[in-house]
Every structure is written in C-alpha cells, then in structure tokens.
Structure 1
Amino acid sequence: MVLAELGGSISRALQQMSNATIIDEKVLNDCLNDITRALLQSDVQFKLVREMQANIKSIVNLDDLAAGHNKRRIIQQAVFNELCKILDPGKPSFTPKKGKPSVVMFVGLQGSGKTTTCTKYAYYHQKKGWKPALVCADTFRAGAFDQLKQNATKAKIPFYGSYMESDPVKIAVEGVERFKNENCDLIIVDTSGRHKQEAALFEEMRQVSEATKPDLVIFVMDSSIGQAAFDQAQAFKQSVAVGAVIVTKMDGHAKGGGALSAVAATKSPVIFIGTGEHMDEFEVFDVKPFVSRLLGMGDWSGFMDKIHEVVPMDQQPELLQKLSEGNFTLRIMYEQFQNILKMGPIGQVFSMLPGFSAELMPKGQLDSSNPKLMNESRMMRIARGSGRPVREVMEMLEEYKRLAKIWSKMKGLKIPKKGEMSALSRNMNAQHMSKVLPPQMLKQIGGMGGLQSLMKQMGSAKDMMGMFGGGDK
C-alpha cells in the first residue's frame, strides 16, 4: 500500500520515543529527525517537512510542560495533528446535490488514471441515487474516447464524445448541454492529460473551464508522482480553480509522499482515493482516519462502516445472539470470512484495526498437529472434495480453533437495546472486551481508559457490536 513504508517509519520513531525512560530534548529531537528523514525519503516537499518540524517544536515545549503531563501523548498528538494539517486545508469542497445539475471537470497529468477515475466517480454517485453522465473532452490522446466509452458502457452510464470533432471546448459544451436537457444531475467532463510545460494544453484547459463553468474542478494525481508533485499541482491550481483532489493508484508500493505535497500545493481537500483497477475500488477520503491508519493507530469507525455494508441485515440478530452465547461454528466462520472478503483488500481491512496485523495474523507455519475436531480420514475427504492440500485443511481448522477461543470469551457479553447504552453497561462491556482484545491492540487504543472512551463515543449497541457484524438485537 502506498505510504505504508512512510507510516511504518513514523510509527517506529514514535515507538522508540515511547520506549525512552525519560522524554527530554534529545529524545524529542531524535524522534523528529527520524520523522523528517522518513518524510523526505517518501518525496514530501522539503519546505513542508521543515514547517511541520518547526510547528511540532513550538507546540511541544518540554520546559513549559507542568509535572504530570503525558509528554509522549502530547508529542504523538502533535505529529498526528500536523500530518492532518498537510492533508486538510480546512475548507470543504463543493458537494453535488441530487436533482440539481452539477458540472464536475477532471484535470491532471498524463497517465494519472484520470479517465478511469471519472468513471469510478460517476459509478460511486450512481449507486447512491444520482443520475451521472460522462463527457469526453480529451481530443489529444489517441483512444481516450474509446476508453471512456468502454468504461461508461460497462457501468451503464450515459456518455458523449466525438471521433470527428477536434475542438475539446465544443465537445464539452455540447455534452454538458445535452445532459442538462436529459435531466442528469452530475455531468462529468474528462479533459486531456497535460504537463505544466505544455502551455497550449493549459490554455485549452482554461478555455474548457470558462466555457462549461464547472461547479467543481478535481485534480487527479498519481500517488507515485514523487518530487514533481508540488510544482505540477501548483501549476494546475494557478490555471483553473482546483477545488478538490483525488489520489489514484493507492494500491501500489511507491513512496507516495508526493501525494501529501500535492494536496498542500492546491490547498484543496482530498475527497476520494483510488485503491485498485476495479470500478468499486474507490473510497471516500477522511483525513483523521487516514492518518490514524498511516500511524498504525487503526480506524474503528471505518471498520464498522465496512462491516455494516457487507453483513446482511437478516444475519445480524442471529449473529448477535450467537455472539452473546459464545457459540462459534465452522459455518459462522465461513460466513464471516465471506463478509470480510467483500470489504476489500485484506491488508486495508486489517490496517483499520490497531495492532491487529501484529497480534492476530498468523506468523510463519501454523501448528500442523492433527486437530481433535475431526479425524485424518475426514480431513483427507474434505481436501479431495475441495481440491486443496490436506495441509490447508489442517491450517483452516487451526484457525477455527483460534477464533473459537476468542469467540468463547464473548459469552455473557451484555447486549443493550438501541439507545440504552448507559455508563454502567459501557463499563461492563469495556471490561469484557478488554479480556478479548490482544494486549497490543488494547495498548494502541489506550488501555482500559481508551476502551471505555471508545465505547462512550460509539453511543449505541449497534455501533459497539458493529465490529462483530451485528446490529440491534
């Protein structure tokens, strides 16, 4: 995942600081130097990095901190806040409204994945009840209209373009007018990819913008662009009124720090990230959960939202009942694994859980001793029937035993009705959950106090049980 290496480096720097016996000026400087080095190696612009370091130092004045202050927590919070500031300009982007025609113009460098992103953006809104349409105003790149046409047809989204007309301004105006007349409420204009040194193409982009008067201009940026990101993004911002950013190819392994620089250059919020080639590999971007995941702190709310999206409503009451009874079967494990697979790439899902990958993901070879659950003959029949090696059947059963052990600890968990999450029931459930969660995960949350605070923030049984696939009993 892009930025994973950066996140790991920052997390290690913070962890080394936390392991120090005394937090003094040297420890703070060492921590900040490690973070600075990590950001620069990830292609974040030098000026941004120096500003961030200076801001943290001004916030964390160790001499001014009174006795009793948690210096480690203050430093960690300062790093978190400064990363959020880089990614959040403090102003929301234009938000389209259903039933009211909005024009959204996409701009970006060649090869940034702009045309695919246009379709993903349209598809996302189509699923939520909008009536989107696509206009191909890219007459520069050979095959651009064919690509948009193919994508739009696959997603069943109306489109407009021309093989004959060479004037992108004319195509854009005609397409916007047509779809306004057809009562489309989200008209997306795809433009040619261009580089800041291509003055003619930048002038063309400005003309398309003037002619179509878009409600929102979105700058599409490849996460692997590197050091050139800041200057390129700034050039686009100076030519058209960039109001939002979409970062693509976040499923790659590039350094990715350029993405942070580009956001700072446009002073516009990131609204979506592309996490793969498929149409639905497209996520709404939320700054705080993203930085939290970047620093290995997880994203509980995002994880719960994904759970609620994939667990069928008719399964939720029964699952909750079995959860409270501590009753775990292979069928439940199968059903929940199926639900997890619907949530997206496993690595992204696990990154939402603090310490989960370190604590709960199996490392190396699992114990391959014969499980007591079934005999060798039956395991061989299952292997033959599924076309898998016997070893994998045994590993699956070991995984079942591990999960069953965790599930059994849920027995007796109090499940209050919606709206009845009292302080007493929150504390009771927090005590119960503290016995279930792995030590590292509990530590990342902030111990028992952090877990109780988390329960309080959730505010309802539905939210509390969301991470286990539940709703209201």
Structure 2
Amino acid sequence: MVLAELQGRISRALQQMSNATVIDEKVLNDCLNEITRALLQSDVQFKLVRDMQTNIKKIVNLEDVAAGHNKRRIIQNAISNELCRMLDPGKPSFTPNKGKPNVVMFVGLQGSGKTTTCTKYAYHHQKKGWKPALVCADTFRAGAFDQLKQNATKAKIPFYGSYTESDPVKIAVEGVETFKKENCDLIIVDTSGRHKQEAALFEEMRQVAEATKPDLVIFVMDSSIGQAAFDQAQAFKQSAAVGAVIVTKMDGHAKGGGALSAVAATKSPVIFIGTGEHMDEFEVFDVKRFVSRLLGLGDLSGFMDKIQEVAPKLEKQTELLQKLSEGTVTLRFMFEQVQNMLQMGPLSQLTSMLPGADQFMPKGNDKESQAKIKRYMTMMDSITDEELDGTNTKLMTESRIVRIARGSGRLVSEVMEMLGEYKRLAKIWSKMKGVMIPKKPNDINLQNMSKVLHPQMLKTMGGIQNLMKQASSMGMLGGMDKK
C-alpha cells in the first residue's frame, strides 16, 4: 500500500468513527482494526502495530470518560500520540555546528539512492549558508564517482574522488583532509553499498568510519523494501554507529511503513525523506507533522513553509493580487498561480498539508495532474495578451479556441476543458477578497478564509476557532485575526 493510500485509509477510519451517532467500544475497535490493517498492509512491522493497538486500548477507556468530554478527540489524540511514539526514538539526531568541520558518513545498500541523497543533503545545507563538500569513497560500484561528480557539479558543490585508487579508506581520508584545509564545514562521505548485506560491506564501513571518525552516520533506506526494513536497519546499526535515518523514494509510489519502522530498529530518528528525483525534492522529517498528515489533519506549518519558498515570486505579483482583491480574475492570474503551484511540489503533497482537502480535491496520479497543468501552460502560451488580461470569457469565440488549439498543438476539447476550469476557479476566487496571501506570506485572514472553505473541510479542521488557534501558535495570522 502506497503512503498516500495509507493516509487515505487512516483518515477515512477516523472520519467514520466521527460520524457514528454513539462512540462505543465497537466503534473504537472497528476504527483501530481498520488502522491496524492499513499499517500492516503498508509493511509496518507486526509487533509495532500490535503494541500500538494494545497501548491505545489501555489509554482510551470509554467507560471512564466523563460525560461532556469529546470521545472522538480523545481517541484521535491517543492514536496520534502512539504513532508519534512509534516514529520517535526519543532522542534528537546530531546537529552539525558551524565554525568547525563536521564529517557525515552515509551508509546503505546499493540502489537505495544513497549517492543522490548525499547531494540533496549537501544542497539543502548549502541553501542555509553552509559550505558543504562531497567525498566519493564508493569504489565498488562502477560509475559511482561519475554520478557523484555530475550531481555535485550541477549543484555547484566541491567534490573529491579517484578513478585509479581502489582503496575506499585512503580516498575517504584524503578527501576529508583536503576539505578540512579548504575550511568546508560539512564534509559528506559517500560509502560503498551492496545488493545485499555482506560481511565485506560491513567491514569496509567499519574501516572508513574508524579512519574518518564521522560526527554522524546516516543510514539511507529505500522506502520500497517492505518488511525487510527492520532487520536490515538493525544489521547496519550493529555494524556502524547509525545516528540518523533518511528514507528515500517517498514520492507516493512505494510502501513507506516498512522503512519508517527502521526507527525502532536503529533507535535513531528519521531526519529527511526523499520525495522525488530532483535536487529540491527533499523534506525535513518532523514526526508530529508527518503523523498529522497521516491522520488527515493536515500540516498548516508545512504548507506555510512551501508558501515561504515561493514568497519572493509572490511578492512580485502585487498588481495581480490587487486585481484579485478587487474581484478581477483573469486568465493571466490563473497562469501565474499554475506556475507557482508547479514550483511548490507534488500536488498530493500539498493537499495532504491542508486538513480535509483530500476529500474535496480531485483524486489521481501526481504525474497525471502535473502533466495536465503543463498542458494548460502550453495552451496559455498561445493566448494573446488581450485574452489573458480580459475578464469577459465571451472573448473566447470558436475561431479563437481553434487558433489556440492549433498554436499549442492540443485538441479543441482540451482548450475547452481549460477554459471550463478557469470559469470554475474564477467563481471560487471571486469570493476570496482579502483571503489570498498579500506581500507577507504569514499575514493570513482566516475569518475571510472560513467563508471560502467547504463546511465539511472546516469541520475536519475543528472549526474556525481551532484553526485560528493553530495558526496563531505558528505566527501565521495578520493583525486583524489576533484580536
């Protein structure tokens, strides 16, 4: 079961419980059994799931719940806390310190995406002002150095490796020393992997670690390995002082449960998850945020982080935002918003951050949704300025629609579909005066937003007062909402 499907099933189980007239022992058991089945089918280890279910039943004693208390909220909190406990080893990962060279060693099986993840990790820190460097100590896999060299060059990160030296320990030591002299403060050592756990792999890991004395060892795990995750993670932990885990290929096409249960095996926290092949498809892993999304409760702070990433581009849209605040919605505005959406990441990732949004947004494969948006972009490139800036859809005569279809190499029916989507969105956007994000992305008017949100979505969020409370705690409200 893919992660998006797991999230859907857990969210539906909680929703069915919420819709029950009376929440009794049977309703609780039905909810827990559905969540248990979903987790097991997502390859979370059986013992972890069994312990979770037992603990929840101990915590939630419906007979002892006083009258007037919200049973649904008590059960939801218990499930959330147990899932957090499952994913949280209770200790933070080593945090690199600026001003001194930090050596980070990556380990994992071949094919887990280790080399790509090394570059993503370096790129993430580079954007935050670090001076990272990459060392390729993988002499086992043909082409490993070429891959690292290509990735590092693209990200403009210094790298070290050798086409002639076969001793990974020697390369690792030379690379680390080279970058220490160059005052790099984050030196990342990529080690060899194997197709399976072998004594030679673990011995090589031990030797490299002994020679370079890393401040942190990161275990990279492919999210698609299923039930083998627990045993594999345990084997690496016994051979190297694993201090953190990065889970790769969490882009909605692989089972995530097995890899996430690696936390229990290594007693080390997941610090990042890879959500795609591109350099910036790399998310900081936060247990509470992840569980909140898993339960269908959204992740408002995560959504705001995404908004912050495109904030500079949003700030350039003052004129467009002004038009929107006046109720003027043009095709050009839709064109600009579609461009921003493409930059904010996979659509399923965005909708999972908005509580209840998955119930009201179109379902479907991310790739298909992205392809559809790109088709719209192509068609819009064939639309004149007069048509883009006009608010009268009557401008779109049959002859103009045929011209747009020919100019973009698309079907007339596809142009009609795009215009239909524009009319639908224009109707929604016309209600959003004062709701869209102004110059400051964290200045949100939730009172106005509540008029636009679907009533059931608002109910899932716990009502406008609860939404305001959450947003206020994250500093997301404008002056009017704080009163």
1:117 to 1:459, Cα distance in 2 relative to 1, 3 A: closer
Residue 100 (structure 1) aligned with residue 122 (structure 2): no
Displacement, 1:182? 1.1
Structure 1 contact 325–410 (Cα < 8 Å) conserved: no
Distance 2:19 2:434 in 1: 37
Query: Aligned letter for 1:380?
Result: V
Q: Give the equivalent residue in structure 1 for 2:409.
A: 387
Distance 2:246 2:426 in 1: 41
Residue 37 (structure 1) aligned with residue 59 (structure 2): no
Q: Give the equivalent residue in structure 1 for 2:376.
A: none
1:275 to 1:416, Cα distance in 2 relative to 1, 3 A: closer
Distance 2:480 2:113 in 1: 38
Query: Aligned letter for 2:83?
Result: L
So what's the TM-score if we normalise by structure 2? 0.87
Name the SS for the 1:254 alignment partner: coil
Structure 1 contact 135–159 (Cα < 8 Å) conserved: yes
Distance 1:406 1:260 in 2: 39
Q: Give the equivalent residue in structure 2 for 1:295.
A: 295
Distance 1:145 1:416 in 2: 46
Q: Give the equivalent residue in structure 1 for 2:270.
A: 270
Q: Give the equivalent residue in structure 1 for 2:81.
A: 81
Name the SS for the 1:283 alignment partner: strand
Query: Aligned letter for 1:163?
Result: Y
1:202-217 superposed matches below 5 A: 202-217=202-217
Residues 286-321 of structure 1, C-alpha deviations (whole Å, 9 max, x = no match): 222222222222222212221221242542544543
Residues 422-473 of structure 1, C-alpha deviations (whole Å, 9 max, x = no match): xxxx9xx5443222112232122112332332443344546999xxxxxxxx
Distance 1:415 1:183 in 2: 41
Q: Give the equivalent residue in structure 2 for 1:405.
A: 427
Residues 14-63 of structure 1, C-alpha deviations (whole Å, 9 max, x = no match): 22222222111121112112211111111111111111111111211111
Distance 2:160 2:96 in 1: 20
Residue 248 (structure 1) aligned with residue 264 (structure 2): no
Structure 1 contact 106–189 (Cα < 8 Å) conserved: yes
Residues 192-237 of structure 1, C-alpha deviations (whole Å, 9 max, x = no match): 1147752232122112112111111100000011111111111111
Q: Give the equivalent residue in structure 2 for 1:469.
A: none
Residues 51-82 of structure 1, C-alpha deviations (whole Å, 9 max, x = no match): 11111112111111100111111111211221
Query: Aligned letter for 1:217?
Result: V
Structure 2 contact 293–352 (Cα < 8 Å) conserved: yes
Q: Give the equivalent residue in structure 1 for 2:304.
A: 304
Displacement, 1:105? 0.2
Displacement, 1:337? 0.9
1:180-199 superposed matches below 5 A: 180-194=180-194, 197-199=197-199
1:6-85 superposed matches below 5 A: 6-85=6-85
1:416 to 1:334, Cα distance in 2 relative to 1, 3 A: closer
Structure 1 contact 371–398 (Cα < 8 Å) conserved: no
Residues 107-153 of structure 1, C-alpha deviations (whole Å, 9 max, x = no match): 11221111111111112222222221111112222222222222222
Residues 227-280 of structure 1, C-alpha deviations (whole Å, 9 max, x = no match): 111111111112221111110011152222111211221111111111111222
Residue 452 (structure 1) aligned with residue 468 (structure 2): yes
Quote the sequence identity (%).
82
Displacement, 1:373? 5.6
For structure 2, list consecutive stretches of 5 or more residues without a partner in the other structure.
370-391
1:78 to 1:463, Cα distance in 2 relative to 1, 3 A: farther
Structure 1 contact 359–440 (Cα < 8 Å) conserved: no
So what's the TM-score if we normalise by structure 1? 0.88
Structure 1 contact 195–232 (Cα < 8 Å) conserved: no
Distance 1:414 1:18 in 2: 31
Structure 1 contact 360–438 (Cα < 8 Å) conserved: no
Query: Aligned letter for 1:379?
Result: I
Residues 381-401 of structure 1, C-alpha deviations (whole Å, 9 max, x = no match): 222233222222222222222
Q: Give the equivalent residue in structure 2 for 1:471.
A: none
1:417 to 1:225, Cα distance in 2 relative to 1, 3 A: closer
The answer to which of 218-227 and 295-304 deviates more is 295-304
Query: Aligned letter for 1:270?
Result: V
Q: Give the equivalent residue in structure 2 for 1:335.
A: 336
1:197 to 1:128, Cα distance in 2 relative to 1, 3 A: closer
Distance 2:119 2:458 in 1: 41
1:441 to 1:464, Cα distance in 2 relative to 1, 3 A: farther
Distance 1:397 1:388 in 2: 13
Query: Aligned letter for 1:125?
Result: H
Displacement, 1:157? 1.8
Distance 1:128 1:62 in 2: 48
1:463 to 1:17, Cα distance in 2 relative to 1, 3 A: farther
1:391 to 1:80, Cα distance in 2 relative to 1, 3 A: same
Q: Give the equivalent residue in structure 1 for 2:398.
A: 376
Structure 2 contact 247–272 (Cα < 8 Å) conserved: yes
For structure 1, list consecutive stretches of 5 or more residues without a partner in the other structure.
365-369, 466-473
Residue 221 (structure 1) aligned with residue 221 (structure 2): yes
Count of residue pairs brought into register by the alignment: 454
1:330 to 1:415, Cα distance in 2 relative to 1, 3 A: closer
Distance 2:265 2:120 in 1: 24
Query: Aligned letter for 1:118?
Result: C
1:156 to 1:85, Cα distance in 2 relative to 1, 3 A: same
Structure 1 contact 2–223 (Cα < 8 Å) conserved: no
Displacement, 1:334? 0.8
Distance 1:164 1:376 in 2: 66
1:412 to 1:221, Cα distance in 2 relative to 1, 3 A: closer
Structure 1 contact 104–214 (Cα < 8 Å) conserved: yes
Distance 1:60 1:385 in 2: 62
Residues 307-342 of structure 1, C-alpha deviations (whole Å, 9 max, x = no match): 221242542544543343233221111111111111
Q: Give the equivalent residue in structure 2 for 1:435.
A: 451
Structure 2 contact 273–285 (Cα < 8 Å) conserved: yes
Q: Give the equivalent residue in structure 2 for 1:354.
A: 355
Distance 1:17 1:415 in 2: 35
1:204 to 1:449, Cα distance in 2 relative to 1, 3 A: same
Distance 2:231 2:220 in 1: 14
1:457 to 1:316, Cα distance in 2 relative to 1, 3 A: farther
Name the SS for the 2:250 alignment partner: coil
